[in-house]
Amino acid sequence: MIRARPAAPDWRPHISLETLRLRARLLEQIRAFFAARGVLEVDTPLLGPAPGSDPQQHCLDLDLPGVGRRYLQPSPEFAMKRLLAAGSGSIYQVCKAFRAGEHGPRHRIEFTLLEWYRTGFDYRALMDEVQALVCGLLGRPAARAFTYGALFERHSGIDAFTCDEATLWQRVAAAGIEPSPVLQAAGRDAALDILLTRLIEPAIAPLGVVFIHDYPASQAALARLRPGQPQLAERFELYVDGIELANGWSELTDAAEQRRRFEQDNRVRQAAGLPHVPLDEQLLAALAHGLPDCAGVALGFDRLLMLAAGVANIGAVQAFCD
């Protein structure tokens, strides 16, 4: 009996040559943009001793002989802040980042980030620079900006800052969404995230380039808080045609407050049945030494390339992807 030879694996790249050239042009333009502004390009390790603590992010880890557990970084943020504390001045980098369990038309486990930090900037000044870069690269008109609270009131009919958790989950159910137990365990911010994704993102998609800013203090991540009632995080996100493209903020410089937030994240992770993650003591030591006043932003480069190429799937702009 003659056995058929197994088919050869498909070795070909997933990206077209035209898109590969577009990718190279975007990178060239990005580097020229930052060079003109005196922002230094840097490089930081992909492996680190601690991941981000965000309960919505799931990191990949490795046990290395003679070294111990190391994490593939979901963002270069922690290492870049150590450079800032050491006196680097404004910096940027284009690098690979990794997040487990992310696979879909706009997500991959391995992806490319453009991340930068501007000393002497707050989040408003950084929003202006993000707009200049993105609108320039994509040939788009100036962005429109809306506060987080205004969008929730307009498109979901609730006050995102005062609405109780039970009512938020009722609003999620009314939208025909059945959240997982893990999401429900994450509390009211998880409900707000679902409503943002399902109700607000589609509503702003026809508006083109849109900033959402002034987030609830509970969603500050590593952002500085602004006093007032309600207390707000000096944070923004950028959307283009309804696609989340960038997330930035005025940076928190208080080491004690940052430790408190990391520990709170771990309590949320425990309640949701997620693994405890170690705190990045090197970052906390850098903050204690002194982080200059600055603002930082992470921008999904693959999504930027999707928009520039006019494609709807991230797989079309990555040379090789599973």
pLDDT tens for residues 204-232?
A: 999 999 999 999 999 998 999 998 889 99
Determine the pLDDT at residue 287.
97
Confidence band of 2 (pLDDT split at 50, 70, 90): low
If one compares 226 and 321, the residue with the highest pLDDT of the two is: 226
Determine how many CB atoms are found less than 10 A away from the CB of residue 242. 15
- State in Å, rounded, how far the first CA of the chain is from the last one: 35
Question: Which run of H or of E encompasses 246?
Answer: strand 243-250
Coil/strand/helix, residue 118: strand
Note whether 271 and 189 are within 8 A (CB): no
- Polymer length of the chain: 322
Q: Round to whole Å and give the CA distance between 286 and 85.
A: 6
Note whether 264 and 257 are within 8 A (CB): no
Strand ranges (E), 189-229: 209-216, 225-226
What single-letter amino acid sits at 215? Y
If one compares 58 and 246, the residue with the highest pLDDT of the two is: 246
Mean pLDDT, range 234-245, rounded to an integer: 97
Note whether 130 and 37 are within 8 A (CB): no
Does residue 186 surpass a pLDDT of 80?
A: no
Distance of CA 261 to the CA centre of its chain: 17
Determine the pLDDT at residue 314.
93
53-95 tens-digit pLDDT:
888 778 898 999 988 899 999 999 999 999 999 999 999 999 9
Q: What does the mean pLDDT of the chain come to?
A: 92
Determine the pLDDT at residue 9.
85
Closest-CA residue to 140 (of 52, 9, 226, 240): 240
249-305 tens-digit pLDDT:
999 999 999 999 999 989 888 887 888 899 999 999 999 999 999 999 999 999 999
Determine the pLDDT at residue 322.
64
Determine the pLDDT at residue 39.
98
Does residue 185 surpass a pLDDT of 70?
A: no
Q: Round to whole Å and give the CA distance between 217 and 298.
A: 19
Determine the pLDDT at residue 1.
55
Note whether 292 and 84 are within 8 A (CB): yes
Determine the pLDDT at residue 182.
67
Confidence band of 233 (pLDDT split at 50, 70, 90): very high
Instruction: Scan for tokens 């809306």, then name that residue.
Output: 146
What are the φ/ψ torsions at residue 124 (nearest 5 degrees)?
A: -70, -45
- pTM of the predicted structure, to 2 decimals: 0.93
Find all residues with CB under 8 Å of 193, minimum gap 6, and list them. Answer: 56
Residues 62, 70, 218, CA angle at the centre, nearest 5°? 115
Share of the chain above pLDDT 90, in %: 72
